[in-house]
Amino acid sequence: MPLPKAELHLHIEGTLEPELAFELAARNGVELPYADSDELGKAYDFQDLQSFLNLYYELMAVLRTERDFEDLANAYLARAAAQGVRHAEIFFDPQAHIARGIPMGTVVEGLWRALGSSEQNHGVSTRLILCFLRDESAESALETLEAAKPYLDRITGVGLDSAEVGHPPVKFREVYEAAASLGLRRVAHAGEEGPPEYITEALDVLGVERVDHGLRCMESPELVERLVRERIPLTLCPLSNVRLRTVDTLADHPLPAMLDAGLVCTVNSDDPAYFGGYAGDNFDAVRSALGLNEDRLRELARNSFLASFLEDDEERRARYLAEVEAYEFS
């Protein structure tokens, strides 16, 4: 039995496995510029975040109907459940779909067809987080929040993703203020490729409660001290960092130093279909490459539930935390 955990940094579009991409392409009559899985596989050798994003956005062309989004989410939930994920807070990128003529309603309703029955079907509780694309304009983010208003009963929070450098958090001050006044929780990617200052800005200007990645905080001792003091969780994605060359090898990952510093770290998969592993695979990888002991692994699992947006269901959080404490490593 795998260690129970929550996944807090997961882009649903990043769970599109090549096999499902070809299946949906055939179903929807979409032509992909790759003959087969072998040829597509060659496109997964990424140099940086942007080179990954190019493929990520390209393959989204196959997602067209509610059923497509439902199938995508069910495939993820089944894989996540098998790796011990008990709770998943799932990002989606509506602007990337709206730009292709797929309305907000198709995306949210389709995802909800899977998420709404996920507890019964997969044993995984879920939350949905709408991400704004930071390389699009602030106006576009405001329009996207407006388009999401009919669906806010299904959306727990907002996030910020896509190309980071050159798109500082301050660009999205207004839309985050609007989201906060709608009662939405706030997170943002910061300090993946961008500088530590983006992490500080996400906290001070956007009011984020968790930082996605946040890896580059390690360049600023003052920032580390603040993150520790304020117990701001970081959603780390070790296999993603290796594949996007944010760290050279997994053995070089700062996770052990971050835990030693007292940071509230969690381990997540980001875009598992692109980066070589789901949540459990990331745990296994850091365990073997970094020699994390059982106390550290349990700490990571505990942190994942403590950092999750389960304030509306504390009974469930307590149940999950009890599962973590009772877990026996094999």
Catalytic: which of 136, 164, 192, 193?
192
Q: Can residue 7 be called a binding residue for ligand HPA (CB under 6 A)?
A: no
Tell me whether residue 36 or residue 48 sits nearer to ligand HPA (CB atom).
48
Tell me whether residue 13 or residue 270 sits nearer to Zn ion (CB atom).
270
What is the three-class DSSP state of 294?
helix
Cα–Cα distance, 230 to 203 (Å, whole number): 11
Tell me whether residue 4 or residue 169 sits nearer to ligand HPA (CB atom).
169
268 binds, among Zn ion, ligand HPA, none (CB under 5 to 8 A by kind): none
Between the alpha carbon of residue 113 and those of residues 10, 43, 105, the distances in Å are: 18, 31, 12
Which residues are CB-neighbours of 146 under 8 A, at least 6 positions away? none
Q: Can residue 270 be called a binding residue for ligand HPA (CB under 6 A)?
A: yes
The CA-based angle 87-88-92, given to 5 degrees, is: 165
Closest contact distance (angstroms) between CB of 3 and ligand HPA is: 23
Judge whether 204 is annotated as a binding position.
Answer: no
Q: Which of 20, 40, 49, 224 binds ligand HPA (CB under 6 A)?
A: 49
Cα–Cα distance, 169 to 117 (Å, whole number): 34
Nearest CA to 186 among 176, 174, 175, 198? 176
E-strand stretches of 152-245: 157-161, 185-190, 210-213, 233-236
Judge whether 270 is annotated as a binding position.
Answer: yes
Closest contact distance (angstroms) between CB of 235 and Zn ion is: 8
Which residues are CB-neighbours of 277 under 8 A, at least 6 positions away? 239, 269, 284, 285
192 binds, among ligand HPA, Zn ion, none (CB under 5 to 8 A by kind): ligand HPA
DSSP single-letter state for residue 275: H
Closest contact distance (angstroms) between CB of 69 and Zn ion is: 18
- Consecutive H or E run containing 59: helix 49-59
Question: Which residue type, as a one-letter code, is found at position 286?
Answer: V
225 is catalytic: no
Tell me whether residue 79 or residue 167 sits nearer to ligand HPA (CB atom).
167
Closest contact distance (angstroms) between CB of 230 and ligand HPA is: 23
Judge whether 9 is annotated as a binding position.
Answer: yes
End-to-end CA distance of the chain: 9
What angle in degrees, to the nearest 10, is found between the helix axes of 66-82 and 18-28?
Answer: 160
Tell me whether residue 89 or residue 270 sits nearer to ligand HPA (CB atom).
270
Q: Can residue 193 be called a binding residue for Zn ion (CB under 5 A)?
A: no
Q: Which of 11, 167, 186, 243 binds ligand HPA (CB under 6 A)?
A: 11
Residue keyed to tokens 């942190």: 303
Nearest CA to 19 among 33, 36, 35, 31? 36
Judge whether 11 is annotated as a binding position.
Answer: yes
The token pair at 143 is 């329009």
What is the three-class DSSP state of 126?
strand
Q: Which of 159, 270, 272, 286 binds Zn ion (CB under 5 A)?
A: 270
Q: Which string of x and - marks every residue 161-200 that binds ligand HPA (by CB under 6 A)? A: xx--------------------------x--x--------
Tell me whether residue 118 or residue 240 sits nearer to ligand HPA (CB atom).
240
Residues in binding contact with ligand HPA, number by CB under 6 A: 11
Q: Which of 6, 10, 14, 234 binds ligand HPA (CB under 6 A)?
A: 14
- The distance from CA 25 to its chain's CA centroid, rounded to whole angstroms, is 24
Residues that bind ligand HPA (CB under 6 A): 11, 14, 49, 56, 161-162, 189, 192, 240, 270-271
Residues that bind Zn ion (CB under 5 A): 270
Q: Where in the sequence numbering do the catalytic residues fall?
A: 192
Q: Which residues are annotated as a binding site for Zn(2+)?
A: 9, 11, 189, 270
